[in-house]
Amino acid sequence: MSETRRSFLKQSVATVAAASVAGCAPGASRDSSDRPESAAGAGSAGASAMPLPGETLRAVAEAVLPAELGDRGRERAVAAFERWSDGLEPVAELAHPYLVPETRYSGPDPRPGWVAQLEGLEKECASRHGVSLSAIDMPVRRELLARPLGQAGPGMGSPANASHVAAALMSHFFASPVATDLCYRRGIGKQQCRGLDGAAAEPAALGDAP
Amino acid sequence: MSRVVESDVCIIGAGITAAMVAERLAERTSASVTVVEAGGRTASLEERSRTRARMLAYGENPYPNDHIADQTGTGEMYRQMVVGGSGMHWGGAIPRYSPEDFRLRSLYGVGFDWPISFDDLEPYYQEAEERIGAAGEQGPPDCDPRSKPYPMPPLPLSYNLARMREWTDGAGIPFWTQPWARNTRPYRGRNVCQRCDTCAVCPTGAKYTPDFAFDQLLADGRIDLVTRTLVRRLALEPGTDRIAVAQAVDRDSPDEPVEFRAGTFVLAGGHAWSSHLLLLSASNRFPDGLANRAGNVGHYMTGHWYVSGFIDLPMRLYPGIFANNSLLSHRFASPGPLDRYLRHDLRLWESDVGRAPRLRDDDGSLLWGDGIMADWRERTDSGATARIRAYYDVIPDRESRLTLDGAMKNAMGDPMPRIDFRSAQATIDLERHTHDTIQGRFEQLARAAGGSMKSTRSSRLFEHPGGGCRMGDDPATSVVDRWGRTHDHENLFVVGAPTIVSSGCANGTLTFCALSLMSAEEIAKGLATRG
Ligand SMILES: Cc1cc2nc3c(=O)[nH]c(=O)nc-3n(C[C@H](O)[C@H](O)[C@H](O)COP(=O)(O)OP(=O)(O)OC[C@H]3O[C@@H](n4cnc5c(N)ncnc54)[C@H](O)[C@@H]3O)c2cc1C
């Protein structure tokens, strides 16, 4: 990719659809609030980050993240996603694929599109139901979200490439070590620097509370 | 007016093979050594926690500035041009080639024999393992010959791999731990592996990367390292076949050429750039490029292919415990006299393929938080997935070539390399048999666990590539001798990957390092010993 095209993409207020067409980013994010080394370092680049409307994002999270996380767990997952989003650098140089002599870049900034989607959800709620998203029953909320998620899946993919902010939030959470531990109900601690000692043991069962 | 840098030995490239040569010469001789690297420095150890975090979060390159924008080619090539070369990014799997690799023609009537045997190389394998810091487990001696133990004990088998090894033992195929360039105890001032599972970028320094060696040599005042300086041409001493000078450009002041003058030149540019520089250095005396009187430079490019698959296992495993360790078997490296030719390794990893969270179920219905978790649990409770891969050797063809690509030039107008890998007809003829036999072995393993194959695929990417300056005793069919000395120029050596005759069925870098150390021993003969 030429430097001029790269700077153009960096500056453009790109749509999320464009991001998914560019489709450059690799595997899913692994960031999580429970991983200090990644949380500390990873969220430091995206200087021009556009904050996502927090209340709407949380209303979306209630609909798309597992209820078993509880309020605290869900809040941690949303905060981790926000930090990840703040640190996202559009059109960043990606890790080189093995034996491919080209430089690849991530897609353009998905955040303006995500902000627009969240604002759009609120507008739709207001006009159809006269209340904000957070006040709407869960089945109706999911119905509202199901339509824009029409193209998403079946796999999770990278959150930065997600066509909708709800899909990005889900991808981000389900790729995290927290989600893996929750799924297996074991302390696996994937991709955390854990030392060699515990490797041979079956991971310990998690307590009941997430 | 050129800037002139003089030394006894000039090493071109600062990858892992250069590090081997520089270290050995610095230890054994009093020669002055200059290492010239086209790239600059990338993330230091201190910076790697941060770049690792961004790689995990966003997929970003953890080694900023590790390549040169206009210095690239076509075909299977590494992008990295940086102090440490592609050895910054490498995974650090360091199996040896098998004794059979060096005698394919004599033993099986296919491919080529090397001018050296496994036994000739064995001491250098050992030395490379010591310099790098190899952690490994002795496999069955008939499959894994070695004269001394590994310098470090192996990485521990994770809970997952231990369960998998019980399964493979039951199947009657011996597997053992892959040897790795990662510390299992503090080694040469570097940390112990912390199981971060991002070996492409190791934030603790437990994985060997060549920058550690260069930093130590610089701290000891044993080498000069000239970075961001691209050698564009090697030129002869007038009227002779000796190399007099490496003509280079300092990328920070391109208008001021740099000349490296030395008694001995060592080309350690890796599999692509070594042949490329020789071809670029054509002159009246060598119109087809240096070291190319017989027309062999850039020929016999080689690598191996693989068949891989995923196996459904009826057992409970926990992917994520240690994805960057694996099991290895060389059981199929030595076919019997009546077998049809096929040599391959086997390796096994934990995997979450088919058992990762997903947004839609099998019917395509959208899932929400609890539904995703329930679907995920159902698929992880019901079994596990193992990833299996078999690297098999590909017989190189003379027309498997690196050439200069007139259609692709760097900013200075130099044509860039183009690699058109090709296998010999023998490999094509055997491909069905190869695929079916390996698939059969995968299935045999799967059945032994009461499991089944989920999927299989074949890759024709030429992995762990080498060649282009292959070694041989006959100057008519090779570029360098067994020591890496070019047949045409007594003071020019090519080391490591470009010199291999064939690429076996194992990751190649340890072999490239061992070959480089063998070259270093020969180079040292012409230099004053360290007093
Ligand atoms: C992601 C990844 C994973 C890998 N994993 C493994 C693994 O697990 N096991 C394994 O065995 N191998 C692995 N490899 C391959 C391994 O990294 C290489 O085989 C090895 O590092 C090659 O070393 P080298 O010294 O031959 O060449 P390189 O690493 O390519 O170094 C050559 C250096 O020379 C410099 N150079 C070239 N030409 C010039 C010139 N004209 N002037 C100045 N400088 C020049 C280049 O800039 C470069 O830095 C992996 C590679 C990658 C990318």
On the question of pLDDT at A37 being above 50, the answer is: no
Q: Is residue A189 part of a domain?
A: no
Which B-chain residues 126-185 have CB contacts (< 8 A) with chain A? 155-159, 162, 184
Tens digit of pLDDT for each residue in A155-173? Answer: 999 999 998 999 999 999 9
Do residues B509 and B87 touch, judged by C-beta distance below 8 A?
yes
Rounded Cα–Cα distance for residues B358 and A156 (Å): 6
Do residues B199 and B155 touch, judged by C-beta distance below 8 A?
no
The rounded Å distance from CA B181 to ligand 1 centre is 15
**Which ipTM did the prediction report?**
0.93
B263 touching A (Cβ < 8 Å): no
- The answer to whether the CB atoms of A183 and B197 lie below 8 A apart is no
Identify the residue among B81, B82, B185, B359 best suited for mutation to test binding to A, counting A beta carbons within 10 A and taking the highest: B359
Total domains in the fold of chain A: 1
Q: Which residues, judged by CB distance below 6 Å to any ligand atom, belong to the binding site of ligand 1?
A: A 98; B 12-18, 36-39, 78, 81-82, 85-87, 89-94, 200, 230-231, 268-270, 273, 277, 464, 496-497, 507-509, 512
Burial of A200 (0-12, 13-18, 19+ CB in 10 A): middle
Give the pLDDT band of residue B384 (cuts 50, 70, 90): very high
Mean pLDDT of chain A: 82
> What's the whole-number mean pLDDT along residues B384-394?
97
Look at residue A34 in the predicted model and tell me its pLDDT: 32
On the question of pLDDT at A207 being above 90, the answer is: no
CATH class of B3-525: alpha beta
Q: Report helix, strand or coil for B211.
A: helix
On the question of pLDDT at B197 being above 90, the answer is: yes
Q: In this complex, which of A45, A94, A203 lies closest to B61 when CB atoms are compared?
A: A94
Q: Which residue of A has its CA nearest to B368?
A: A64
Q: Is residue A39 part of a domain?
A: yes
* Nearest partner of B93 among B453, B464, B496, judged by Cα: B464
Rounded Cα–Cα distance for residues A25 and A197 (Å): 34
The DSSP line for B376-413 is HHHHHHT-EEEEEEEEE---B-TT-EEEEEEEEE-TT-
Choosing from B35, B78, B495 the residue with most ligand 1 atoms within 8 A of its CB, the one to mutate for a pocket test is: B78
The rounded Å distance from CA B356 to ligand 1 centre is 33
- The answer to whether the CB atoms of B159 and A200 lie below 8 A apart is yes
Q: Is residue A87 part of a domain?
A: yes
On the question of pLDDT at B32 being above 90, the answer is: yes
Which ligand 1 atom is nearest residue B83's CA? 49
Look at residue A35 in the predicted model and tell me its pLDDT: 32
Do residues B234 and B208 touch, judged by C-beta distance below 8 A?
no
The nearest CA of chain B is from the CA of A126 a distance in Å of 23
The rounded Å distance from CA B40 to ligand 1 centre is 14
Q: In this complex, which of B62, B157, B368 lies closest to A142 when CB atoms are compared?
A: B368
Helix axes A165-174, A111-129, angle to 10 degrees: 120
Give the pLDDT band of residue A49 (cuts 50, 70, 90): low
Look at residue B529 in the predicted model and tell me its pLDDT: 84
Structure tokens at A174: 């389900």
Counting Cα atoms < 13 Å in the Cβ hemisphere of B215 gives 13
Range of the domain at A56: 3-147+157-176
Look at residue A210 in the predicted model and tell me its pLDDT: 44
Which ligand 1 atom is nearest residue B507's CA? 11
Residues of chain A with Cβ-Cβ distance to B195 below 8 Å are 193-196, 199
Q: In this complex, which of B72, B320, B323 lies closest to A101 when CB atoms are compared?
A: B72
Q: In this complex, which of A63, A64, A99 lies closest to B78 when CB atoms are compared?
A: A99
Place of tokens 């020669």: B31
Q: In this complex, which of A41, A67, A98 lies closest to B53 when CB atoms are compared?
A: A41
Q: Is residue A181 part of a domain?
A: no
Counting Cα atoms < 13 Å in the Cβ hemisphere of B4 gives 7
* H helix runs in A132-184, sequence order: 138-146, 165-174, 177-184
The rounded Å distance from CA B78 to ligand 1 centre is 7
For B21, other C-beta atoms within 10 Å of its C-beta total 28
Look at residue B264 in the predicted model and tell me its pLDDT: 98
The nearest CA of chain A is from the CA of B109 a distance in Å of 31
Q: Is residue A203 part of a domain?
A: no
Q: Which amino acid, one-letter code, is at A168?
A: A
- The answer to whether the CB atoms of B50 and A31 lie below 8 A apart is no
The rounded Å distance from CA B86 to ligand 1 centre is 3
On the question of pLDDT at B221 being above 90, the answer is: yes
- The answer to whether the CB atoms of A152 and B320 lie below 8 A apart is no
Percent of residues, chain A, with pLDDT higher than 70: 75
> What's the whole-number mean pLDDT along residues A192-198?
95
The nearest CA of chain B is from the CA of A163 a distance in Å of 13
- The answer to whether the CB atoms of A31 and B57 lie below 8 A apart is yes
pTM of the full predicted structure?
0.94
Atom 21 in ligand 1: which residue has the minimum CA distance?
B87
Give the pLDDT band of residue A182 (cuts 50, 70, 90): very high
- The answer to whether the CB atoms of A95 and B155 lie below 8 A apart is no
The nearest CA of chain B is from the CA of A207 a distance in Å of 17
> What's the whole-number mean pLDDT along residues A119-141?
96
The rounded Å distance from CA B393 to ligand 1 centre is 20
Which ligand 1 atom is nearest residue B92's CA? 8
Which B-chain residues 337-376 have CB contacts (< 8 A) with chain A? 356-361, 364, 366, 368-370, 372-373, 376
The rounded Å distance from CA B497 to ligand 1 centre is 9
Give the pLDDT band of residue B337 (cuts 50, 70, 90): confident
The rounded Å distance from CA B290 to ligand 1 centre is 22
The DSSP line for B412-452 is T-PEEEEEE--B-HHHHHHHHHHHHHHHHHHHHHHHHTT-E
- The answer to whether the CB atoms of B184 and A155 lie below 8 A apart is no
Mean pLDDT of chain B: 97
Look at residue A16 in the predicted model and tell me its pLDDT: 34
Q: Report helix, strand or coil for B145.
A: coil
Which ligand 1 atom is nearest residue B79's CA? 53
Q: In this complex, which of B318, B322, B463 lies closest to A184 when CB atoms are compared?
A: B318
Q: Is residue A187 part of a domain?
A: no
- The answer to whether the CB atoms of B194 and A194 lie below 8 A apart is yes
> What's the whole-number mean pLDDT along residues B282-286?
97
Look at residue B1 in the predicted model and tell me its pLDDT: 77
Q: Which residue of B has its CA nearest to A74?
A: B369
Look at residue A19 in the predicted model and tell me its pLDDT: 30
Percent of residues, chain B, with pLDDT higher than 90: 97
Choosing from B23, B90, B131 the residue with most ligand 1 atoms within 8 A of its CB, the one to mutate for a pocket test is: B90
For B292, other C-beta atoms within 10 Å of its C-beta total 23
Helix (H) or strand (E) holding B347: strand B346-351
Look at residue A42 in the predicted model and tell me its pLDDT: 55
Q: Is residue A28 part of a domain?
A: yes
Give B207's strand partners: B182
Atom 3 in ligand 1: which residue has the minimum CA distance?
B90
Tens digit of pLDDT for each residue in B437-456? Answer: 999 999 999 999 999 999 99
Tens digit of pLDDT for each residue in B111-153? Answer: 999 999 999 999 999 999 999 999 999 999 988 999 999 999 9
Give the pLDDT band of residue A46 (cuts 50, 70, 90): low
Look at residue B180 in the predicted model and tell me its pLDDT: 98
Give the pLDDT band of residue A117 (cuts 50, 70, 90): very high
Identify the residue among A88, A102, A185, A196 best suited for mutation to test binding to B, counting B beta carbons within 10 A and taking the highest: A196
Q: In this complex, which of B66, B162, B194 lies closest to A195 when CB atoms are compared?
A: B194
Residues of chain A with Cβ-Cβ distance to B411 below 8 Å are none
> What's the whole-number mean pLDDT along residues B201-214?
98
The nearest CA of chain A is from the CA of B72 a distance in Å of 6
